[in-house]
Structures are given as structure tokens and as C-alpha cells.
Amino acid sequence: MAEPMLKPPKSAISPITWVRQNLFSGWYNTLLTLVVGYLLVIGVGPVFSWLFFDATFLGSGPSDCTGTGACWLFISERLNFFIYGFYPDDLQWRVDVMFGLLALSFVPQFIERFPGRKWFGLFGLTGLPVVGYFLVPGGNFGLEVVESSKWGGLMLTLILAYIGILASLPIGIVLALGRRSEMPIIRGICVVFIEVWRAVPLITVLFMASVMLPLFLPDGMNFEKLMRALIGITLWQSAYMAEVIRGGLQAIPRGQYEAADALGLGYWKKTGLIILPQALKMVIPGIVNTFISLFKDTTLVLIIGLFDILGTVQSTITDPAWQNVAIEGYVFVAFCFWVFCFGISRYSQNLERKLDTGHRT
Amino acid sequence: MKKQTVDSRPAGPKPWYDPRIRSIFFQFIAIALVFWGGWTLVDNTLSNMESRGISTGFGFLDETAGFGIIMSLVPYDATMTYGRTFLVGLMNTLLVSAMGIVAATILGFIIGVARLSSNWLVAKLALVYIEVIRNIPLLLQIFFWYFAVLGSLPSPRQSVEVADSFFLNNRGLYLPEPMPQEGFGLVWGAVIAAIVVVIGLRAWAKKRQLATGQIFPTFKVGVAILVILPTVGYLAAGAPLEWEFPALKGFNFGGGITIIPELAALWIALSLYTASFIAEIVRSGILSVSKGQTEAAKALGIPNSLTLRLVVIPQAMRVIIPPLTSQYLNLTKNSSLATAIGYPDLVAVFMGTTLNQTGQAVEVVAITMAVYLTISLAISLFMNIYNRAAAIKER
Amino acid sequence: MGTIMTEQTQATDPKKPVPSQTENKPDIIRVEGMNKWYGDFHVLKDLNLNVRQGERIVICGPSGSGKSTFIRCINRLEEHQQGKIIVDNIELTDDIRNIDTVRREVGMVFQHFNLFPHLTVLENCCLSPIWVRKTPRKAAEEAAMEYLERVKIPDQANKFPGQLSGGQQQRVAIARALCMKPKIMLFDEPTSALDPEMIKEVLDVMIELAGSGMTMICVTHEMGFAKTVADRVIFMDGGEIVEEAPPHEFFTNPQEPRTQKFLEQILQH
């Protein structure tokens, strides 16, 4: 061994040493770094200049987009449509209020020391949907009615994902408990329900909801398109939710069940007071992850003719007034989704790490 | 196992307080509810279909479809039946899934290993790839490839061409098609013979190693046999292979193999998207093999390359394979997004066009769901078998 | 086996609680001809045992002898398949009402404490009085504090179980069981999962409890505890009760060879 016995302490590693160790250790690594670095430079350069340096940000119409870069004007001009769909301009404050409340409920969850953040989160899960139920469609308290066919854009995406996850939570809990039941028939029903929904792609579920649901319902009873999509999404999602929660239930040690039994708690009290609170807390990261995938999957509703954020963009990029704005549109939507999903997944990873260390003491 | 002596129990509990009777009662209620719900649905559906004049039953599968499909692996034209459209759609779904699985696996393993590279740049690049791709909806990625990238390719007359035999334009990618001639059977025979020889060689090499300790370079020799034997067969048969080259006829190309842009976009997007998940699975699989294992191997004097092959990979595979199969399942399910760009997969052809034309929603949806259910059950069956095998090895 | 003489052993140890005067007391637990199988495996073979009110019984035996299974049958955490178990004049059958009543009267302390990690110590103690006994919250908390004082950890009431040491957790578990004001306490190897220095604090609490006249059945390997506290020691092996005697007799003059061998092994050190 030619190496010195004492390696320098970590803080003393100079940038040059670091570069040598991590980029140029041996001919193989050096070659790799050089090739990858070269590809990166010739690849990323044009992308950056397209995105920023050559891009058009300001102007009043399609004619101002003359540069070789991206035409962000397209996004800013049509932003209103991308966010609210066809929701009437003068009523958009109602949606804005919901956005505000949503942020108020969940932004504190990212801040460790925020006082009472639990209560904000609780409001988000209970109060927020109630407020939204009255505020967004209108019809009560003298609020003008806005048909659900006019909802669209980011707002619709959030509604679909949020209601989908919220409604599937209780169904998922019931299914998960059913799947762990000692009664074979109850267990069998739950297994079949869960496995069938999990086996089929969401798109078939959405087709089913939009084509078959009207057939299933008695004459004269029907739902709007949005409602049908929500029913489909909720049923589909509840199967995934059930599996996540089942994982939590399985992780509860047997001693907890036994201790509850020994104290004379019956099945429902045992489940409600001892098992579920622990299991649900354990699976929060799992629930957040299913939320992320549902959030991405809501884009599929455009196939059955709803205008979510991707739907609004997709319908706008073919606008003859704007030439070749497809990439700008897709980059914009991708950015929106990425910010949401990446942020939330980071949050869930942190939580996972914390639960991991916090649980065993 | 119940071993009860009735006489030792003076008075049984009241039925309501007997958990056995309770459980039977609840289960009875559950069955009743399911049947009642099912019956209501069936009843409503039947009366709705009657009032709309939709026929029932699977007779429609024998009726003439009357619509064209842009791509099919089995011979198809508009005069064939709806049953045939089902087959075409199913084959197309299986094709894109299989292509996607192969590409996603290769890419995913490369990126997963790159993520653990000691080269900082490579590791970070892999990380960026994973974090970007998996946080963007798949449908958006499919759109991006289909409309933004492939849609902006030149028209057939301005095709990008390589060596007058490969053409790329906005109608697709055109490749020369191998046309086996008479006598090609010899080549197939040689391939099979080569495979048999290699398997035999492996067995022999292993036996020899166990007996004498000598290690035979099975891999190198095996590859050589696999290449040389079919080549010899090919030449011996007088090179019985001709190529059909694509050529511009009018406004479009004819001849050769065509990869339509719908397939290409779906394939690229599915592979890239799934690869980001597979990369994470591979990474955590490799990390799950504890450091102690590698250290133990080192302490035994096993060289690094062998450690990877003999110690790390076998253990990591056990962790990797179950989530990997569920990613394959996801990819297959996600291939149904084909509908959005018009690739004629099962959902697009059968649940889309066929359903629209016949109106027989219940039958069509049931068949489609049954197909996916079958695929999913087959995969979980495989997974269970694998898990059992892996678990036995552990004991 | 119903009439077992509880011979009064001399109170030589100053720590020993007053020997329980139980001859005239009625039986609170009666086990008659009880059998249990796990699948084809016969875990408990024809057990008979009568426990009088206020009696203190220690069950010992090698691992796998069925002693834990036996006491878990007494509050029906395990189901027996043959014979009778009568607790406080209620027979344990399939009747869930009976099971609920029995569990209310029988407290249990587990080897691994099994405290509820998501609830504070106080909440752990109040849970079942509030939800099962329907005690008003305030009364339940006051009672719980009293018991926590008795196990000498009132100051930890608002901590979570995860923040306590093993010995403290086990004492909380005892307090939690006592909060239901049970007539009988079952201890399933309460000190086996504890570090040596924590065993004493738990045993002290148990000795104090024994002094208060509680009916106790303990599965334990703490032979010192058995000597000091027990009215009877039961030795189990292979799912059978092999020997049953007052501690004095049991330790000085075991009758059965299996008991002798076991005692030799356990008392060697």
C-alpha cells in the first residue's frame, strides 16, 4: 500500500482533490467524465438557449414570437385557460380562494416548526372539500352556478386528484380491513375487488365509467361526465389505497392486537383506537406516493373528453394563430407536474426517514 | 381442527353472541349485498340496452368489422370480423409491451448502475434522469414524442436516409425486410444446433470444473459457437436470404418493415418512463446487498469481478425481480395509452372502434378487462413461483 | 385436584408479604380437563387447576412447555378445545359476551410490554377504563395517576412509551392492567425482556401488588420471586402440569425427576 496511513480529515479535502477523486480517478473514469461532459455541453447548451436566452417572454401576440428560441408568450397569453379552463373570468376568484386554502393547508406540512400544522392539514382533509363543494360549482348562498363542463385546466387536475385520493381513503380502509378479515367470504370479496381494479389500466376504467355507467344506472338517473370520471378514478384508486393500508396493518406487531384484546376492547374499538391510528401513520409516505401517481394519471381524462391541464394545452397548440408551440406547451405542463410531484415526493421521503428513525426506540 | 366435547359445555351461547354464528350472518349479508348489487346492475343494464335497441351476446364477434387498422401483425382488412379486430389489437398490445419491456430493462439496468457509479458526473446525470422522467406524466411524454418530436420530422419526400435502405420521415421509420428464401431452414437448424451445443458445453464445463477445478471460458467459446455455426449454415445453404428494401412510391414508401410513428412514440415513451422506475429498483436492489457480503467475499480472496457475479448479483436479483415484474405489468397496462395517439392496441381498436360501432359496451369491456386480468394473474403466478423458489434457496 | 392444601410457609423473608389466607376463600379460577391443540400438535394436555381468590401462583418450566399458552387461555387470547375454564363463575365459551366480561376482570402483563406507542403513558392507562368501563375521562385519569404513583412513575405520565426504559415500560403496563380494577392479574414472563438492572424495579412492584391481596398467576423464571411471593409453584413440562407444591416444598424437596432436573439447571449459577 502506497497510501499514507493517515488520510486527511474530510473537511480538509480541497476542491482539486475532490475533483480528482470523483471525476478523474483512473483512465477509465477520466474518459467517462470527458465523454459525458462533452455530450452534456453540446446537448445542454442549445436547450438552455432555446429555453431562456433566445426565448421570447414579452409581447402582445403570436407575431412577436420571432426569435429562434421558445415562445413563452404563448403560455402567458393562454395561462388563464390553462389554469381555469372555461370557468367564467369574473367568477375565478372562487377558484383562487380554493387555491389559497389548499396552499394554506399543505404548505405548513413542509415546515417542520410551523405551529399547529396538524390542524391545517386536518382542515385540508375535511373542511376544504366542504368549502369547495359549495364554492366551486356554486348554486347556493347566491353564488352563480358554473357547470362542471366549464371547469378545466390545472384546477380540474387538482380537483380530480384531490377528490380521487380523499374519497378512496375510506373505501381503501374498509377494503384493507376486509382483506385481513377472518371471514373467508368477506375476505374473498375484497380480494376480488382489489385485484380486478389493480389489474386493469385506468383508461379502461375511465371508458367503463363513461360508457357503461349510464347503462348500469336506472332510467332517468345520470351523472355528468366529470362525476362519472370521478367515480371511476375513486374505485380504481381505492384498490391501490387498500393495498397501501394493508401494508401498514401487516406491520403492526401481534402484541398490539393481543394487548387490546386483553384490555377487553372489541373489534371496532381495537381497530379504531389502536390498530388504524398506528397503521395509517405508518403508511403516510405510501399514501403520498399513490397520490403522486394518481396526480400524474389524471391526465388520462383528456381521452374521455375532459379538459385537464394537459387537455387544455393539447387543444391550444393546434390553434392556427400560434405556429409550432407544441414543445412550449408540453414543457410548461411538464414543469407544472414536475414541481408538484418532485416536491411532494421529497416531502414523503423526508417523512419516511423520520418515521423510520422515530418508530423504533 | 375442532376437537369439542359437547357434553363439557353446559349451555351454548345465545346465537347472537356466538362469533361463529355472527360471522356466518355477516358473510351471508355480504353475499346478499353483492348479489343484490350485481342483480340491480344487470337488470338496469338489460332494460337500458333494450330501450336503446342494443343487442346482447357475443354474436357480434362474427360480424364484419368494416374498418381499417393502420398496423397489424396478422393479416387483416376491413372485410374481416370484429373477432379479428380483437386479435389484431391484442397482438399490437403484446408487441409494444414486449418491445417496451426489453428496452426499459436494458436502459433501467444501465441507469441504475450508473446511479451508483463512483464517477460523480455519471451518478448525478442518472439521478437527474430518474427524478425528471418519473415525475412527468406518461401521457405527456407520449404526446411529446408523437406530436413534438416525430411530428416535426420531414415529409416522405425529404426523408432522412441512410445507405438508401433506412428511411426516417413523419410517416415512420422504414427498414429493409429480410426475406428468407428456400433453404433457409438450414440456418434455423444451425441456430438450434448451436444452442444445444452451448448448453451441453456449459454442463460439461461445470462438471469438469467440479472434478478438476479448471475453469473453462464458457462464455467466450459459447458466443463463438453461436456466431460461427449459423454463419456456416448460412453459407452452406448458399446465402438463402434476400432483402426487400423500402422505396418511395408516389407520396409514400412501400416495401420493407415500417415502424409507424405511433408505435415508435409509444415505445420510446414507455421505455424511458419505465426505465426510470426500474433504475431505482436496480439501485436499491444492489444497495440491499449488505456491505458485509462484499467484504466477506473480499476476505475469502474472491476477485472483484467474481464477487459481483457470485455474491452481489444473485442476492440483488432476489430483491429486484418481484418489483421488476410489477413494473412490467405496469408497462403493459400503460401501453393502453396508445389510444391517445391512435396506435391500434387492444383498447384503441376493441374498446374504442369496435365498441363504438357495435354499442355492446358490456361484452367489449368485459372481454378487454378479462385480457388484462389474465395478463396480471399470469404475472402474479410467475411471481409466486419465483418467490417460492427464492425462499427455498434461503433455507 | 380441587383440594390443594396451601401450606403456610414460614415468613422468614422480611420482604415477604403476609401469606395469603385463602383456605376459606372461594375458587376464582377453575380449569378442568383442559386440552389444546395447534393443528395436530397437542400443546396442553389435560390441565386441572383451581385458584382461590387472593392466591398467588407461579408457573415455571422449560421453554415450549406450554406455560404461556396456558395463561393466555385464561383470558381467551388462545382458544382451548376441550374441557372447561371458569373464571369468576363465568365459563369461557364461544359466547363473546362472556369473553368480554372475563377480559374486563382479568388484567394481563406481557413479556414485551405491548404498550400502545401512539398514546402517552396516561392515555395508555385510561384507554380501556374510558372505552370499556365507560368511566368519565376525568375519573379515569385520576385513577390512572393513582396507579402510576403506585408503580412509582407518576412523573412520566405525559411521555410516550418509546421514551421510557424497559423497566419503566413494564411498570406502565402493570399500571395499565390495574386501571381496569381487575380481580385477577396474569403475568406472562414480565421480566424476560428486561435488562438485569431493571428486573428488580418490576419485581418490587409485583411484590407490592401481591401484598395487596390480588389474585396473581405469574409465568416467570425468577425463582427468588417465586420463593418470596408464591402460595403455590406449578411446574409444567411438555404441556402437562408435572408438579405442584408450595414454594418451600417445591424448592427443597421436589418429587418428580423432571422437576429436579429443571431446578438443577436453573439454580446452578
Q: Sort out which chain C residues have CB atoms less than 8 A from A259's CB and list them.
A: 108, 110, 114-116
CB atoms closer than 10 angstroms to residue A81: 18
pTM here is: 0.83
If contacts are CB pairs under 8 Å, which of residues 85-104 in chain C contact chain A?
A: 100, 103-104
Q: Sort out which chain A residues have CB atoms less than 8 A from B121's CB and list them.
A: 23, 32-33, 36-37, 40
Amino acid at A278: Q
The answer on pLDDT for C10 being more than 70 is no
- Residue A136 DSSP SS3: coil
Q: What does C207-255 look like in DSSP terms, one character per residue? A: HHHHHTT-EEEEE---HHHHHHH-SEEEEEETTEEEEEE-HHHHHH---
Give the pLDDT score at C2: 38
The answer on pLDDT for A58 being more than 60 is yes
Confirm if B156 and B169 have CB atoms less than 8 A apart. yes
The overall average pLDDT reported for chain C is 86
Q: Sort out which chain C residues have CB atoms less than 8 A from B18's CB and list them.
A: 94-96
Least confident of A2-11, A274-283, C32-41: A2-11
CATH of the domain at A175: 1.10.3720.10
Q: Cβ neighbours of residue B364 under 8 Å, at least 6 residues apart?
A: B350, B351, B354, B355, B358
The number of angstroms, rounded, from the C-alpha of A253 to the middle of its chain's C-alpha atoms is 31
Give the pLDDT score at B133: 93
Nearest CA in chain C to A264: C103
Most C CBs within 10 A among B2, B8, B20, B24, hence the mutation to make, goes to: B8
Q: What is the pLDDT of residues C161-204, one digit of tens each?
A: 989 999 999 999 999 999 989 999 999 999 988 888 889 999 99
A40, A199, A333: residue with CB nearest B376: A199
**Residue C99 and residue C105: Cα distance in Å, rounded?**
10
- Residue C51 DSSP SS3: strand
Residues of A with CB under 8 A from a CB of C: 253, 255-256, 258-266, 269, 273-274, 277-278, 281, 358-359, 361
Per-residue tens of pLDDT for chain B, all 395 residues? 444 444 444 455 666 777 788 888 888 999 999 999 989 888 888 888 788 777 777 778 888 877 878 888 888 888 888 888 899 999 999 999 999 999 999 999 999 988 888 888 889 999 999 999 999 999 999 999 998 888 778 777 777 777 777 888 878 888 888 777 777 778 888 888 888 988 888 888 888 888 887 777 778 888 888 888 888 888 877 777 777 777 777 667 777 788 888 999 999 999 999 999 999 999 988 888 877 787 787 788 777 777 777 788 888 888 888 889 889 999 999 999 998 898 999 998 888 888 888 878 888 888 999 999 999 888 888 888 887 777 655 54
Nearest CA in chain B to A337: B136
If contacts are CB pairs under 8 Å, which of residues 16-35 in chain B contact chain A?
A: 23, 26-27, 30-31, 34
Residue A40 is classified by DSSP as: H
If contacts are CB pairs under 8 Å, which of residues 334-373 in chain B contact chain A?
A: 334, 336-337, 339-340, 347, 351, 355, 361-362, 365, 368-369, 372-373
Nearest CA in chain C to A280: C118
Question: What is the band of A172 on the pLDDT scale with cuts at 50, 70, 90?
Answer: very high
Specify the DSSP element, H or E, that contains C186: strand C184-188
Query: C91 and B4: CB-CB below 8 Å?
Result: no
Give the pLDDT score at B156: 75
Nearest CA in chain C to A278: C118
Q: What is the mean pLDDT of residues C110-126?
A: 91
Query: A265 and C128: CB-CB below 8 Å?
Result: yes
Q: Cell 461532459 sits at which residue?
A: A37
Q: Does B131 touch chain A (CB under 8 A)?
A: yes
Query: B18 and C96: CB-CB below 8 Å?
Result: yes
Q: Sort out which chain A residues have CB atoms less than 8 A from B365's CB and list them.
A: 204, 207-208, 211-212
**β-pairing, C106-109 with B166-169?**
unpaired
CA-based nearest distance B238→chain A, Å = 44
Name which residue leads in pLDDT, A356 or B209: B209
Q: Could you tell me which CATH class the domain B59-155+262-357+385-395 is placed in?
A: mainly alpha
A22, A208, A296: residue with CB nearest B137: A296
Query: B13 and C81: CB-CB below 8 Å?
Result: no
In SS3 terms, chain B reads as CCCCCHHHCCCCCCHHHCHHHHHHHHHHHHHHHHHHHHHHHHHHHHHHHHHHCCCCCCHHHHCECCCCCCCCCCCCCCCCEHHHHHHHHHHHHHHHHHHHHHHHHHHHHHHHHHHCCCCHHHHHHHHHHHHHHCCCCHHHHHHHHHHHHHHHCCCHHHCEEECCCEEEECCEEEECEEEECCCCHHHHHHHHHHHHHHHHHHHHHHHHHHHHCCCCCHHHHHHHHHHHHHHHHHHHCCCCEEEECCEEECCEEECCEEECHHHHHHHHHHHHHHHHHHHHHHHHHHHHCCHHHHHHHHHCCCCHHHHHHHHHHHHHHHHHHHHHHHHHHHHHHHHHHHHHCCCCCHHHHHHHHHHHHHCCHHHHHHHHHHHHHHHHHHHHHHHHHHHHHHHHHHC
Query: C91 and B9: CB-CB below 8 Å?
Result: yes
Most B CBs within 10 A among C48, C79, C84, C94, hence the mutation to make, goes to: C94
Query: B12 and C93: CB-CB below 8 Å?
Result: yes
Residue-number span of the structural domain to which A340 is assigned = 74-91+151-355
Nearest CA in chain C to A360: C162
At B291, give phi and psi (nearest 5°). Answer: -60, -30
Q: Sort out which chain A residues have CB atoms less than 8 A from B44's CB and list them.
A: 215-219
B5, B10, B18: residue with CB nearest C94: B18
Tell whether A44 is covered by a domain: no
Distances (CA, A) of A120 to A110, A116, A125: 12, 7, 9
Nearest CA in chain A to C164: A361
Query: A300 and B337: CB-CB below 8 Å?
Result: yes
**Residue B388 and residue C202: Cα distance in Å, rounded?**
44
The answer on pLDDT for C25 being more than 90 is no
- Residue B164, by phi and psi: left (phi above 0), alpha (psi -120 to 50) or beta? left
Q: What is the pLDDT of residues A104-163, one digit of tens each?
A: 888 887 777 777 778 888 888 888 888 888 887 877 777 777 777 888 889 999 999 999
Domains contained in chain A, number: 1
Tell whether A328 is covered by a domain: yes
Q: What is the mean pLDDT of residues C71-100?
A: 87
Most A CBs within 10 A among B143, B153, B331, B380, hence the mutation to make, goes to: B143
Q: Residue ranges per domain, chain B?
A: 59-155+262-357+385-395
Chain B: partners with 3+ C-beta pairs within 8 Å: A, C
Q: Does A97 touch chain B (CB under 8 A)?
A: no
Query: C132 and A263: CB-CB below 8 Å?
Result: yes
